[in-house]
Amino acid sequence: MPQAPPSEIQDQPASALYYPISDTKMTRGEGIYLFDEDGNAYIDCAAGTFNLSLGYSHPVILQAMRDQLDNLIHVTSSFRTGVIEGFVERLAAAAPANITRVHPKVSGGSSANEGAIKMAQRATGKQEIVTLFRSHLGQTIATASMSGNAFRSGPIPFPQAGVIKVPDPYCRRCFYSQNGPGQCAMQCVERIADFIEYASAGRVAALILEPISGNGGNIVPPPGYLTRLREFCDQNDIVLIFDEIQTGIGRTGKMFAAQHFGVEPDAITTAKGLGGSGAQVAAILTNERLSGLPSNDHSFTYGSNVLALAAASATLDIVSRPAFLENVTKVGNYFLARLKDMASRYPLITDVRGVGLMIGFEIGDPENAADVALANHLASAAMSHGLIIRTSRYGFGNVLKIRPPLIMTLDEADDVCDRLDAMLLEERP
């Protein structure tokens, strides 16, 4: 298995920096473009770390932060501020109808997911958590232990007591060897009852999942899966949490993926794209049942930072416009059409899938075998074509991901696809 991310790590100059990085030095960003010290421009198809929903240096976001700098950068969240109050009202209004509460005193996606789980445990009086294969819920000890990849737990033996991991709805590689959507009995939901009966203590508080897997391979669930999962959770008094760290804030062409699939979870976690152009902000959104967790049970110093929330409020104003979300859908559909055309001409592309601007395409062979090495090679080769592309599962997966800033135009998408086509023609085996 590869031990480095897709970018080819070079020998590093002497530095106090703890971790290895690529040899390319970046100096500035604008819109969908990132520029290196030699003036080369790259189209960022990863939107930073999928967190630059409005691209680099969006002028409205920058101005909102400049305006806030003149007043407050930070204040303890025990006080009222217009920024926080405005933000929670905007976010609650943009969420599914059952969501009424917003907890912004979290510092990132990992702490948001942990907080939602604490809320579910408190509300139900139960402790256990169900997660999915290939899930990526965060980098903290708790969220890493809940995530569904062995490479996360191998080097560091995270505790996993009280976590039940069940097969994800990956029809192309169905755990139950079924024949795909509409031709199975939705066993990826129905058999969860067996896991609870035989592999748990029978005290499941919550099931947490990404509506579309992010790092796991951009797996889009089959029609009806999330609806049936909602029913299953209701029948078994299990809190349903949607981890929308990557799918939320317009990524699917809806403000939240829950709205795309027509399902109301009990809680939604959000971060990444909420900051627009890179502000560090996150939040937990819940229904009334999950309200009431004492502040001292889940609060972080830099949660509710007013400078970050000013950026988040401006982001919500922009993304919530119908024309903005319509463009996400239009550009996403264009990408899917172009990629499917490429798949018809390049056998190494074995599947194309996505919703809005959350798109992935698998690299493999006609027998459905995943080619991880080739996927990593293509991600590295993309740099010479002016593209920044990330792979799935931290370089252990075979999916290339297309998740650019949501401001991308059709002309820019056309440019990306032309560059991808040229790269595949040049790099195909």
pLDDT, averaged per 10 consecutive residues of the chain (429 residues), comes to 43 75 95 97 97 98 97 92 96 98 96 98 97 95 89 72 94 90 89 96 97 96 97 98 98 98 98 97 98 94 96 98 98 98 97 98 92 97 98 96 98 98 90
Q: Within 10 Å of residue 31's Cβ, how many Cβ atoms?
A: 19
For residue 163 the two structure tokens come to 């976590």
Instruction: Give the C-alpha separation, 172 to 179, whole Å.
Output: 9
Alpha helices in 320-405 (DSSP H): 322-345, 372-381
**The predicted structure's pLDDT at residue 291:** 96
**The predicted structure's pLDDT at residue 12:** 52
Instruction: Give the C-alpha separation, 134 to 216, whole Å.
Output: 5
Sheet holding 399-402, edge to edge: 349-355, 358-363, 399-402, 390-391
Q: Is the CB of residue 370 less than 8 Å from the CB of residue 363? A: yes
Instruction: Give the C-alpha separation, 286 to 267, whole Å.
Output: 4
**Domains detected in the chain:** 26-57+323-427 (3.90.1150.10), 60-319 (3.40.640.10)
Residue 217, CA atoms < 13 Å, CB-side half-sphere: 24
pTM over 0.85: yes
Spatial neighbors of 74 by CB under 8 A, at least 6 apart, are 302, 305, 306, 307
Classify residue 120 by burial, with Cβ atoms within 10 Å: 0-12, 13-18, 19+.
buried
DSSP one-letter string for 120-148:
HHHHHS--EEEEETT----SSHHHHHHSS
